[in-house]
Structure 1
């Protein structure tokens, strides 16, 4: 099952981009034997300033067909890393070919796009900068693959 982070905005080169690349490379390497990956990022940019609705249309076009969709949103569920890993494994075992993780723009995700999600996930009640949310998501994707692989990376 391919793992794609679909995010609004372009991330410039720098430490955040380096961390994302590192974690997604690790997730791809660890997940390959588990049927998870490759893990990648698809960025969309609303150059016309159309707001959440325009961003939603761009994100919708970036979604792989029939992907399981995870919306990152402060109103979402806070789940444990093992539960996240289990969800990904269940989707993979059910035959899902893709899982897409949506990170909206400055105003968040359009409600209609958020409503389509199979899972709405929160990293806590605080709002995180989008570049850090990407880093945290990339790390959780890597952590999920290590949990499923039985690696000692996740210590609980």
Structure 2
């Protein structure tokens, strides 16, 4: 099952980009024997619409272009479900075993997700109660995707 992170906003910080790329590379290696990956990271510019509702609609429309038939979409959402690393790994395993072609993680812009994006997602996932900048959310998500692969493979990276 392919994995994609589709995000509104470009990572401008070289250090954040390097960390995301490091975990993506690790996931590609660890996930291959498990049928997870490769990972594809896509960035979209923030909408320039003057109205918040229009910005959210525009960004949702662009993010949803990455979700095709047979794909599972997951919205990163502050009010979403909080999962342990083990439960997140089980979600990925079950999604893969359920026949999903891809699992696409959507990260909205500063105003959040548009209703179209939220309604298209089978899971609204919270990375925690703290508000994270978008770049840091990508770092946390990339690390958790790699961690999930190590949990599923029995690798000692995850020691909880």
TM-score by length of 2: 0.93
Structure 1 counterpart of 2:56: 52
Structural mapping, 1:34-49, within 5 Å: 34-46=34-46, 48-49=48-49
User: 2: CA distance between counterparts of 1:2 and 1:130?
Assistant: 22
| 1:29-56 CA-partner distances (Å, limit 9, x unpaired) | 0000000000120111245435111001
Q: Secondary structure at the match of 1:7?
A: strand
Match status 1:85 vs 2:112 = no
User: 2: CA distance between counterparts of 1:9 and 1:23?
Assistant: 19
Unpaired runs of at least 5, structure 2: none
Aligned length, in residue pairs: 156
Match of 1:73 among 66, 71, 77: 77
TM-score by length of 1: 0.95
Match of 1:121 among 114, 121, 125: 125
Structural mapping, 1:7-156, within 5 Å: 7-12=7-12, 14-46=14-46, 48-49=48-49, 50-156=54-160
**Hey, which bits of structure 1, 4+ residues long, moved more than 4 A?**
none
More displaced 10-residue stretch of structure 1: 107-116 or 15-24: 107-116
Unpaired runs of at least 5, structure 1: none
| 1:58-108 CA-partner distances (Å, limit 9, x unpaired) | 101122433111110000011100110011111111111100000000011
Q: Secondary structure at the match of 2:4?
A: strand
